[in-house]
Amino acid sequence: MKESINVALAQIAPVWLNKKQTLLKIEAAVSEAAAQKANLVAFGETVLPGYPFWIELTDGARFNSSLQKELFSHYLKEAVNIDGGDLEPVCALAKKYRLAVYLGCAERAQDRAGHSIYCSMVYINADGVICSVHRKLMPTYEERLAWSIGDGNGLQVHPLEAFSVGGLNCWENWMPLARTALYAQGENLHVAIWPGNKRNTVDLTRHIALENRMFVLSVSGLMLKEHITPAVPHSELILKNASEILADGGSCLAAPDGSWIIEPIVGMEIVKTAEIHLNDVRKERHNFDPSGHYSRPDVLQLTVNRKRQTIINFED
């Protein structure tokens, strides 16, 4: 197994709320990462088919609003049906190019009856196999008007050559116990995905790197006012209230000592790759390993429920 790998951040803007067209952009970015010899490429939170920016721009909390119903219905129609094969093109590219993919998507979960949306982070390995689907534990603020509450099933790390990679959605990265659940499984490459904005990544990325003495790849989306098209219901109202920049990016990569390998990138769509070395993790774990020699399991322990939550269990 290789102890140095190439990791790529794919900071792209979705074709907002259009699953088919956004998938084409994702496929192009995966191919670009492969051309850059990446072993892993990661995308922003719910980049497929896009983040629900309309909520704060259209009085999203108004109960029983016909406008909000129309927007949610459109979002649900464009959301990702994993069981239905929506991600098969990405899986095929992962297998073709022998690279892993972390993809943020709005998931229409069939195991929850198919009409609720989850903010999900999907890990596809280099064999093109979906190994985990992490549904965001707690949507943030107005996100709860579009996304359902997830569970712990996706709190998993995965082998990637000699590395162990895990990841979290957006503000989950602020949750100490969620991070600990990954650290304790041997995580030494962390992927944090965001809808976009440098303010989210510039401090926390380096903090997580220092906290667990590991590499942290933060990947954001990009969203400009000009990306809102007439194909989106009530686009006129959304445009009226939208700022010119809704998400400015901020994707970056930090080393285990907290230094920048890739400083936050703002305002551009880009696929950028860097090489990382496992030995840099070993060096920094010498003086601090929060799940190893610096832990006190006799005093502090964490219990994690990784069962996929469902309302029905059949016994046929």
* Residues designated as active site: 45, 136, 170
Kindly tell me the burial class for residue 78, based on how many C-beta atoms sit within 10 Å of its own C-beta (0-12, 13-18, 19 or more). Answer: buried
Give the residue carrying structure tokens 């006799």.
298
How far apart are the C-alpha atoms of 210 and 232, rounded to whole Å?
42
Q: What are phi and psi of 302, to 5 degrees?
A: -120, 135
Question: Bridge-partner residues for 244, per DSSP?
Answer: none
How far apart are the C-alpha atoms of 8 and 41, rounded to whole Å?
5
Give the residue carrying structure tokens 């590219």.
93
Distances (CA, A) of 231 to 16, 17, 65, 195, 235: 9, 9, 20, 21, 8
How far apart are the C-alpha atoms of 82 and 45, rounded to whole Å?
16
Q: Is the separation of the CB atoms in 86 and 173 below 8 Å?
A: no
Q: What are phi and psi of 54, to 5 degrees?
A: -65, -25
Q: Which two tokens stand for residue 297?
A: 């399991």
Sequence-ordered alpha helix ranges (H) in 221-311: 235-241, 278-285
Q: Is the separation of the CB atoms in 183 and 290 below 8 Å?
A: yes
Pick from 6, 88, 105: nearest CA to 52: 105
How far apart are the C-alpha atoms of 48 and 167, rounded to whole Å?
17
Give the residue carrying structure tokens 């503000």.
171
